[in-house]
Structure 1
Amino acid sequence: MYRSGAVMAWNVFKFCTALRGLGSIMILLVLGVVGVSYYAVVVSSYFPALTNGGLDSLVALVVLLLFHALLVMLLWSYFSVVFTDPGSVPPNWKPVVDEENGDADLLAGSEFSQLAGEPANSRIRYCRKCNQLKPPRCHHCSVCGRCVLKMDHHCVWVVNCVGALNYKYFLLFLFYTFLETTLVTLSLLPHFITFFSDGEIPGSPSTLATTFLAFVLNLAFALSVMGFLIMHISLVAGNTTTIEAYEKKTSPKWRYDLGRKRNFEQVFGTDKGYWFIPAYSEEDIRRMPALQGLEYPSKPELDGQEF
């Protein structure tokens, strides 16, 4: 029985190592899809149409402007997720203690460890793999091999964990990817229909193949990303993460649910001018501890909630 458990743990470790090795491949894949789409929409379809005159030129201009604007925001958001650390536990971090009750104001759960010298009713989150205390909403990532602040999940597409410091950037990446892939799908739809018609189709075989591939890839991405976007919108509305949504599935109430408006601000900040770009205002960073991933406002009546 022990041998079987050891083998399973070893296999999981190999799986995590393999995920770490996918880094450059996934980035190249994303850039490859962008390149194919750019060639199909800009180079072979709408840029040449600018010289047609009339309505064709106007439509081509609008498509090209939208395509490039969304592409800039998509790539900006994507590389912000890739290169932004999701948040690590500071060295020698210790939990905030309620001096009146003598209890650590932290969540409790199956992974928590009772530390020696603490009151019997005090539960402090502790990571046995990192051998350190864990802030609220922090989880250990087996792929990264460390604890991540407000960890949502490890995403192979961005070659990084999605956590407190880059969750907003990840959501914007999904948002702009959905808009961009939808635009590409709609702009190439007439070409796709013509592809199966009996009429004469302009362009070389390689151009037609690239257009067909771009349409299929962008349609598939638009549909799949739409599902992820809807899921994460619901998570933001409830101020929870993917991991927390699973952990609290039997709990009727969630201590960090402060209402949709405040829940949204816990991720995107209060400055509306920064809501749609992968950055935060200095004012929000200064006065909103939740954006740093260590402290989170909660409902006082649910501070002792466990799940």
Structure 2
Amino acid sequence: MHRSGAAMAWNVFRFCTALRGLGSIMILLVLSIVGVTYYALVLCNYGPALLAAAGALDALAALAVLLLFHFLLVMLLWSYFSVVFTDPGAVPPNWRPDVDEERGETAPLTTSDFNSLQSMALSDTGSPRIRYCRKCNQPKPPRCHHCSVCGRCVLKMDHHCVWVVNCVGALNYKFFLLFLVGFSPIIFCTMQFYTFLETALVTVSLLPHFIAFFNDVEIPGTPGALATTFLTFVLNLAFTLSVLGFMIMHISLVSANTTTIEAIQAYEKKTTSFWKYDLGRKRNFAQVFGINKWYWFIPAYSEEDLRRMPALQGLDYPVRSDFDGQGL
């Protein structure tokens, strides 16, 4: 009991209310960085360059950068707010598992089974059959974990991210991945696909101005605009490099059909057993992005995918055909 209390003393998630409040501030920070980037690239550099272009080639180059920037910006913000406002997945009320994992039978959990399971959980003996959350006082579906910040169990929980004031779980993980690909090392835990493309574009676009700044080349614009351009380049370069590493990590997680929490648990257990949900890269990808290719790169799912693929709902996951109960 003493060791448990000591562990809780270092648990930052005890300060759940503060973290939720901090998340709201971080959303404003994200939007502020977007605003500074927009000001530097569009209003201070490529907007004026388009208007003052001496030739068709210069005008076409500036227009191409502006069009691509605005497209990626729209996709980035769409993905970001989809992560923020989409419920990651909650355990349905009165949910009961349909499969008895201990006996390998399809048999719904009866009331007496549930009461027995509840008693075992409260007495710390656990159950080999069904995962149970003592905080929520309910059984947990496969791959479900309790979030101390949200105060509830989250389906296929990957992690809680204060930068989106939300958990990343079964129903919004795809949106998180799309957002993850250049924004900032500060918010690297949120930025993915469109973020990486956006900041990479900003970095490349502002690179000539950055080089000119240190070569004592005269650059048109006010001192404030030049300072903003310099700051934006440095931030986006740092964001791009930071997010690239984080993006590579999540690509490897998706390819193995696992989550951050599950990967950490496997590492702590030092297990060498195969992962029972690893169906192969193609099917693993579909478990997150769906089958319909037209929806792969937008933060939404087709109705057909939601109907045909229960895994996208976060409650039922297919396992490997060679799984015999010995793997993880």
Normalised to the residue count of structure 2, the TM-score between the two structures is 0.85
Task: Give percent identity, aligned residues only.
Answer: 74
Aligned-partner residue type, residue 44 of structure 1: C
Tell me, what secondary structure is at the counterpart of 1:239? coil
Instruction: Note if contact 1:95-1:104 (Cα within 8 Å) is conserved in structure 2.
Output: no
Number of residue pairs matched by the alignment: 298
- Partner of residue 278 from structure 2, selected from 234, 238, 257: 257
Q: Which residue of 1 aligns with 2:27?
A: 27
Deviation of residue 32 (structure 1)? 0.7
In structure 1, what is the Cα distance between the partners aligned to 2:318 and 2:26?
36
Residue 226 of structure 2 aligns with an amino acid whose one-letter code is L
Task: Please show how residues 51-200 of structure 1 align to structure 2 within 5 Å.
Answer: 51=51, 52-54=53-55, 55-98=57-100, 101=103, 115=117, 122-173=128-179, 174-200=192-218
Q: Any idea what SS the aligned residue of 1:213 has?
A: helix
Matched, 1:304 2:325: yes
Whole-angstrom distance in 2 between the partners of 1:231 and 1:285? 26
Distance 1:18 1:80, change over 3 A: same
1:54-99 Cα offsets, whole Å, 9 max, x none, are: 2221110000010000000000000000000000000111112249
User: 1:221 corresponds to which letter in structure 2?
Assistant: F
Q: Alpha-carbon deviation of 1:292?
A: 0.2
State the shift of 1:252 in Å.
2.6
Name the SS of the counterpart of 1:147 in structure 2.
strand
Task: State how far apart, in whole Å, the 2-side matches of 1:44 and 1:204 are.
Answer: 9
3-state SS, counterpart of residue 170 of structure 2: coil
* Root-mean-square deviation (Å): 2.4
Question: 2-side partners of 1:236 and 1:266: how far apart?
Answer: 9
Q: Partner of 1:234 in structure 2?
A: 252
* Shift in Å, 1:195: 1.2
Aligned runs of 1:206-221 on 2, under 5 Å?
206-221=224-239
Equivalent residue for 2:313? 292
Q: Structure 2 matches for 1:5-44, cutoff 5 A? A: 5-6=4-5, 8-10=7-9, 12=11, 13-44=13-44
Provide, for residues 184-240 of structure 1, a one-character-per-residue CA deviation record: whole Å limited to 9, x for no partner: 000001111111122222211111111111111111111111111100000000000
| Contact 1:104–1:124 (8 Å) recurs in 2 | no
- Deviates further, 155-164 or 15-24: 15-24
Gaps of 5+ in 2: 108-115, 121-125, 180-191
User: In structure 1, what residue type is equivalent to 2:237?
Assistant: L
Given that 1:126 and 1:134 are in contact with CA atoms closer than 8 Å, whether structure 2 keeps it comes out as yes
Q: Which residue of 2 aligns with 1:108?
A: none
One-letter amino acid of the counterpart of residue 237, structure 1: S
Residue 84 of structure 2 contacts residue 166 of structure 2 at CA under 8 Å; is this kept in 1?
Answer: yes
| Aligned partner (choices 269, 274, 282) of residue 303 of structure 2 | 282
Higher relative contact order (CA 8 A, sep 6+): 1
CA distance in 2, matches of 1:98, 1:217: 52
In the TM superposition, structure 1's runs of 4+ consecutive aligned residues that sit over 6 Å from their partners are none
Mark the CA change 1:39 to 1:193 in structure 2 (over 3 Å): closer, same or farther. Answer: same
Letter in 1 for 2:31: L
Would the alpha carbon gap of residues 116 and 225 (structure 1) be closer, same or farther in structure 2, given more than 3 Å must change? closer
**1:50 to 2:50 alignment:** yes
Q: Secondary structure at the match of 2:200?
A: helix
